[in-house]
Amino acid sequence: MSAFDLVHYDVADGVATIALDDPGTGNAYTPALADELEEAFDLADADSDVRAVIFTATGSNFCIGADLSGGGFDTSGLPAEFDEAWKEPAGRCSLRIYEMNKPVIAAVRGAAVGGGSTIILPADYRLASTDARFGFVFSRRGIYPEGASAWFLPKLVGLGTTMDWMISGRVFGAAEAQSAGLVHSIHEPDDLLEAARRLARDLVENTAAVSVAVLRQMIYRLAFQESPYPTQRVDSRLVFEIGANRDAAEGVASFLERRKPKFPQTVPSDLPVWLPWRRL
């Protein structure tokens, strides 16, 4: 199904796989790659047959960071003057994942540094191989964080660890990443993708697509409000509408009948239209 040059895209059994696919460069990050990733996540989000996304890469490295093969950073896509609507390349991917209505499982092996680390932060799960290496190396290149990583990373690993990793710019392994909370589980390289597929299958078979989409965005959009009141307002309307919720009826019936659920509602067509973050 892939119609891209730098990304492999396919869908099977309700799971879309989006893989960086330029292994000869170590899947180096470029504006062209950002274009294709944004489009691939758009496709997965719009496809009602897709229930989960695996975000991975071909070759022995996930992403070595910015492509420096030309002797410096690629500035070819920069506007002549700064425009507030312009988004740097890593942010185009990370913010698109942030906006997803489908759960995203990042499966990372080898180097995932610079942009390779920032673009996986909004994923719902991050699985790593034993040979994975991470690094927010910006201070060692004289540049600044990208991909909104200064927002995402402290929420995953805390302020102290973020300061250490960002300020030092050092590269660290999968064990440290897991200990800090960046990585959920570690696998042998040959077992990594199958572990991601098992997790995706569990989500497809046992969860409701609309429920996952709503709660995913609730956590991201509402968990860091100054008070619980905005969250409770959304809770209240969702609970008020439970009588008309076909997935809720199926969830109860499948529980009482001791069978696997077959949730009828799909994403994006059955998402509540009034959700405050929805782009109508």
**Cα three-residue angle 250-252-254, rounded to 5 degrees:** 65
Q: State how far the Cα of 262 lies from the Cα of 273, in Å rounded to an integer.
A: 23
- Show the domains of the chain with their CATH numbers: 7-204 (3.90.226.10), 207-280 (no CATH)
Q: State how far the Cα of 26 lies from the Cα of 63, in Å rounded to an integer.
A: 6
Instruction: Tell me what the pLDDT averaged over the chain comes to.
Output: 94
pLDDT digits (tens, 9 = 90+) for 17-38: 999 999 999 999 999 999 999 9
More confident residue, 212 or 77: 212
Given a cut of 90, whether residue 69 has pLDDT beyond it is no
**Cα three-residue angle 132-136-138, rounded to 5 degrees:** 140
**SS3 assignment, position 271:** coil
Tally Cβ neighbours within 10 Å of residue 43.
16
Read off the pLDDT band of 108 (50, 70, 90): very high
Read off the pLDDT band of 174 (50, 70, 90): very high
Looking at residue 83, what is its pLDDT? 79
- Looking at the chain, the number of H-run helices and the number of E-run strands are 10, 9
**Average pLDDT, stretch 48-64?**
97
* Residue 14 falls in which region: left (phi positive, over 0), alpha (psi -120 to 50) or beta: left
Looking at residue 280, what is its pLDDT? 47
**Average pLDDT, stretch 144-170?**
97
Looking at residue 152, what is its pLDDT? 97
**Average pLDDT, stretch 6-25?**
97
- Percent of the chain, pLDDT > 90? 89
Read off the pLDDT band of 78 (50, 70, 90): confident
**Average pLDDT, stretch 196-204?**
98
Listing DSSP states for 207-245 in one string gives S-HHHHHHHHHHHHHHTTSSSSHHHHHHHHHHHHTGGG-
Q: Are 115 and 147 a contacting pair, CB within 8 Å? A: yes
pLDDT digits (tens, 9 = 90+) for 220-264: 999 989 999 999 999 999 999 999 999 999 999 999 999 999 999
